[in-house]
Amino acid sequence: MKERLARLKAVRKLIKTYRIESQETLLVHLQKEGFLVTQATLSRDLKLLKVGKISDGHNGYVYSLPGDDEQREAEKTYIHDFLRGYISIESSGSMVVIRTYSGHSDSVALAVDNFGFDEVLGTIAGRDNTVFVCLREGLTGDDFMSLMKENIPELED
């Protein structure tokens, strides 16, 4: 988790410092900073950071970070959606099942996806009131709960 936070901080710094036009360019800068990441991981990082592309005023586009207020507001929205929608969290092995109130499975799954945990392979929102979360090999439901509580301290077991 600490490496991920350091990497995200490095990505922010690089985007603010350099004119970054592509993921390939950003990967090269990250390698120079000592981070060896795949394109898929970088893509998830960019999504988590809500990085977008804006016109450079000439004939190209460069990566841009959202304002801090905008990012904090988005995080608050996902936390609120999760807390409003979930009923319980249970697990078996590397599979987590989140029970939700009727009609809240999509928003709860979206919140988990947008937390951007590397430990989560993916989520599947049930038709109405269940979200399945698949964790990486070797991780457990307890690991997932620890991650969730880091992001949502008011989360109850």
Residue 127 banded pLDDT, cuts 50, 70, 90: confident
Residue 8 to residues 46, 117, 125, 135, Cα–Cα distance (Å): 9, 12, 27, 21
pTM: 0.60
Q: Is 32 exposed, middle or buried (0-12, 13-18, 19+ CB in 10 A)?
A: exposed
Is residue 81 assigned to a domain? Answer: yes
Res. 3: pLDDT tops 70 = yes
Q: The domain spanning residue 114 has which CATH number? A: 3.30.1360.40
φ and ψ at residue 9, rounded to 5 degrees: -65, -40
Q: How far is CA 144 from CA 8, 22, 37, 126, in A?
A: 20, 32, 22, 19
Q: Do residue 49 and residue 21 come from a single domain?
A: yes
What phi and psi, each to the nearest 5 degrees, are found at residue 61?
Answer: -130, 150
At 9, which amino acid appears? K
Q: What is the mean pLDDT of the chain?
A: 88
* pLDDT of 16 strictly over 90: no
Question: What is the separation, in whole angstroms, between the first and last Cα of the chain?
Answer: 21
- Domain limits at 51? 2-64
Angle, CA 90 vertex, CA 136 and CA 120 arms, to 5°: 20
pLDDT in tens, 35-89: 999 999 999 889 888 888 888 777 788 888 877 556 667 778 889 999 999 999 9
Residues 142 and 77 grouped into a single domain: yes
Q: What is the CATH number of the domain that holds 8?
A: 1.10.10.10
Is residue 156 in a domain? no
* Total domains in the fold of the chain: 2
42 plus 91 within the same structural domain: no
At residue 125, φ and ψ (nearest 5 deg) are: -85, 125
CA distances from 112 to 95, 119, 128 (A): 14, 11, 16
Q: Is 88 part of any domain? A: yes
Of 83, 82, 84, 86, nearest in space to 99 by CA = 86
**Where are the strands (E) in 56-102, listed by range?**
61-64, 86-92, 95-100
Do 82 and 127 fall within a single domain? yes
In a domain, 94, yes or no: yes
Q: What pLDDT score was predicted for residue 91? A: 95
pLDDT, tens only, 79-109: 999 999 999 999 999 999 999 999 999 999 9
Q: Are residues 76 and 140 in the same domain?
A: yes
30 and 75 co-located in one domain = no
139 in the same domain as 81: yes
Residues 79 and 145 in one domain: yes
